[in-house]
Each structure stands twice: as C-alpha cells, then as structure tokens.
Amino acid sequence: MYKLVIQGGRPLKGTIRASGSKNSSLPILFASILADGPLTLSNTPHLGDISTTIRLLMDMGAKFILESNSALFIDSSELTNLVADYNLVKTMRASILALGPMLAKYGEAKVSLPGGCAIGSRPINFHLKALRELGAKIEVKNGYIYAKAEKLTGKNIYFDQVTVTSTENIVMAATLASGTTIIHNAAQEPEVSELCNCLNKMGAKISGIGTSIIKITGVKNLTGVSYSVCPDRIEIGTYLVAAAITQGSITIKNTMPQSLLSTLDKLTEAGAEISTTKDSITLDMKGKRPKAVNIETGAHPDFPTDMQAQFTALNAIADGHCSITENIFENRFMHVPELVRMGANLTIEGNTIVCKGVKSLTGAHLIASDLRASASLVLAGLVAEGTTKIDRVYHLDRGYETIEEKLKLLGAQIERVQD
Ligand code: EPU
C-alpha cells in the first residue's frame, strides 16, 4: 500500500500541462462498442479508471494497443462476450456505460449492477427506465442487469433529474436505434458534449449538443475514427485550488477555460487574479490568504460537485465564514472529518457544511475515502504546518495522472512511499 507524505507550507509556482479528461475518455471508450472499426484516441489520461475500462472491453473481446505516441487504439467492433463482469464493474461505476452501446449494437447485454459507493447510493433507475422506453426488455436478477432488444426505437425521453452517465448511455443507445430520440432535461456537462462530438465524427446524427434537449436520429452503423479527448476540467480546477490555497501563482497549459467558468468565478471571488488564453489559465494569489466563498453545487453550468471537496479545503483556511451546499450526492462530505482532524472548523448541517475559516491547519495522518475527497486532503496537506500522511492513495490514482509529479514540478514537497 502506498501513501503520500507532504510537507506543507510552500506556495506553488510554475507551469504544468493538464491531462486529458477522465470523464470524457470513459464514455468514448465505451462508444467504441458501437463502431464497426477501431477508435484511435489521443490525450487520454493514464489512470486507474481508464485501465479498468480497457480491461472490461478486452474481457468482452476488444483488441487494444497502446501506440508509441501514447494514443490508445481500441477495436471493440466484434465483441465475443456480451457480459460486463462484477469483478471489474465493482471497482468502477462508470461500467454501466457498457449497457447502452451493447444493447444498441448486439441487441443484448448482461451488465453487473454497480455496488455501493462512498459518495451516495447512486441508483441506476434513470438508465434502465430510459432504455425500457426505447424498447429494451430489462430484468434485474442475481446482481446483474439482463437487457434485450430486437431493435431499439427512438422516443421522447424525459429525465426527472439531470444525470450525466444516464444521458450518455441513452445518447449512445439512440445512435443505432430506428427513428429519432429526443432527450429532455439532458445533462449539459462538457463531457457529454465531447461524447456527442466524437459520435458525430463516427457518423452519428446528434444535434442540440451542449443544451438540455439533445436530438439523436438513428443511423445504420458507425465507423472507427481518431479523436483527441478534451482536457480534464476537474484536474485543472484542483491544481488551481492548490495554487490558491498555498498563496501561489501557476499556469496550466492544455486547458479549455470556457469549461471551468463557475470554478474560475469562485476563485476570483476568493481573491485570485486569473487570466486566460485560448488554452491556458494563469492564477496568481499575489501572496494573499484566500477569502471565504459560499459554494452550492449543481448540474453544469452551475458549480460542479466534483470541485466541492477541493473548495472545502480552500475555505477551511480562508478569511471569513461561508457555507458549502452539496445538491448532487447525499454523502459527499467524507473529507470533512479528516479536515477537522487537521484543525479546520467545519460543521455538517444536513447537506451543508458551515465553515469558519482558520488561519492554519496542522499536518496529520489521514485516510483518503473517495477520489475528490482525497484531492481535498492533498490540498489541505500542501498548506498545513508540518507533515501530512495520506493513506489509500489508490483513490487518487483513479482520477489524477501523476499527481505527485505535477505537484513537485510546482515546488511542492510530496513523496509517494510504500508501507
Ligand atoms: N441518479 C439517480 N438515478 C440514476 C442516475 C443518477 O437517482 O439512474 C442520481 C444520482 O444518485 C445523483 C444525481 O442523479 O444524485 C446525478 O448523478 P449523475 O448520474 O449525474 O452522476 P454519474 O453520471 O453517476 C458523473 C461523473 C461523476 C460526477 C457526476 C456529477 C462520470 C464517470 N462520473 O457521475 O464523477 O460527480 O456525474 O457531475 O462521468 C468523479 O469524477 O469523481 C465523479 C464522481
């Protein structure tokens, strides 16, 4: 087991390059099931969840090559085993994204139900309801979803709640359905748009991309393409908070600033000076302590739940009082007790954290619980006095490519050590 050991108190300075987006790469990898040829993907990050997806696809019969220029070549055009097995699905909930494409291409799928999750119960009822509306017969038994459909048929789909992977699953299923599907209350997250753009390149007919009404007209087949995945807005946001919390100044290249507007607004409100170019973001705290900022998470373009834990760390040492309200997941406060152990003054009241900023935190031995909670502990460790040790860093490795290398490049004192 590895742990991260951080000596806090150094302002981050310098330039790094953002990695490709995890949550864009995952649905696009699953979209390879729909194609009649291989997909060549560049700018995909080297992460635990990407490896799990590739293993899952290979388990179903996909062929995979990591090309010398670090592009991924994945040929899922002739699957031989239409089963997403529990042993892989249990480690990554996004495996549910195999369901829509398998059903659309092969007319059947058996996908393990994802198990429990640290951030909430995360049911999959919206995925199943919408697929049934497209004509799928679905049975859930023995921990598996058994789905069959001779032919999916386009319909009007209304989601009761904005849901990212359900929108992605239905978009993928609808690309090969007969007729037109219109998704109402669709997720507008940039990762959904990325998937739609890639599918259109593969020959799909999708319009309304980036809006709450997505229209998909089914086509007979999709082809393999080359596609470059967009930068990871949550990774970028996390490093920007790392600079803000340490009163530093950094530039991140390979970004898409327009995908992070709510995060950049909150950082500006916290006192950061931010400038952007077409593909880079520079943040300078001018050596000042951040100011407390109220946070309320929501579906895009509102403030992302995936940045809530990082802003909790920032607010913990900010000047002033604030509230942080989590509206997407019911249990996404696992970082709070650990931050309190470092001296933060945080109280949970329902789905809100009441935060009274303290001048400093002290290093402690901490346990990482889920991906973004772990990131918030790293951020707290970077600003804390003394040494912070974080156990269970495998959570971080699911979503942050070479995190300690990037932080070291920015001047942080951080090491990965084995027990
Ligand atoms: N929901 C249901 N039923 C469903 C689907 C969702 O009740 O069938 C609820 C969820 O429980 C939640 C809300 O709807 O309360 C929204 O969940 P959503 O479906 O949007 O989440 P997701 O698609 O499972 C993706 C990201 C998450 C990110 C959320 C919200 C991927 C692979 N995962 O999850 O990313 O937090 O959208 O933006 O894209 C992360 O990267 O750390 C992460 C958790």
52-100 tens-digit pLDDT: 999 999 999 999 988 767 789 999 999 999 999 999 999 899 999 999 9
188 C-alpha vs ligand 1 centroid, how far in Å? Answer: 13
* Strand 387-391 versus strand 249-253 pairing type: unpaired
Mean pLDDT of 177-197: 98
Give the burial class of 338: count Cβ atoms within 10 A of its Cβ; 0-12 exposed, 13-18 middle, 19 or more buried: buried
Provide the mean pLDDT of the chain.
96
pLDDT digits (tens, 9 = 90+) for 238-260: 999 999 999 999 999 999 999 99
Amino acid at position 237, single letter: G
Strand intervals (E) in 62-129: 63-66, 72-75, 83-84, 108-112
Residue 91 has a pLDDT of 87
Cα–Cα distance for residue pair 252/159, rounded to 1 Å: 36
Phi, psi at 307, each rounded to 5°: -110, 0
Which residue, judged by its Cα, is nearest atom 28 of ligand 1? 306
Which residue, judged by its Cα, is nearest atom 5 of ligand 1? 124
14 C-alpha vs ligand 1 centroid, how far in Å? Answer: 33
Closest to 181 in 3D by CA, of 147, 126, 137, 131: 131
8 C-alpha vs ligand 1 centroid, how far in Å? Answer: 32
pLDDT digits (tens, 9 = 90+) for 314-356: 999 999 999 999 999 988 999 999 999 999 999 999 999 999 9
Cα–Cα distance for residue pair 100/35, rounded to 1 Å: 13
Residue 309 has a pLDDT of 98
Cα–Cα distance for residue pair 115/92, rounded to 1 Å: 9
Whether 355 is catalytic = no
Match 């219109």 to its residue by tokens: 182
Decide if 22 contacts 49 (C-beta within 8 A). Answer: yes
Residue 116 has a pLDDT of 63
- Tell me the two tokens of residue 269: 């409100």
**Alpha-helix runs per DSSP H in 134-260:** 164-175, 190-201, 233-245
Closest to 290 in 3D by CA, of 269, 265, 318, 316: 318
pTM > 0.95: yes or no: yes
Closest to 293 in 3D by CA, of 264, 262, 314: 314
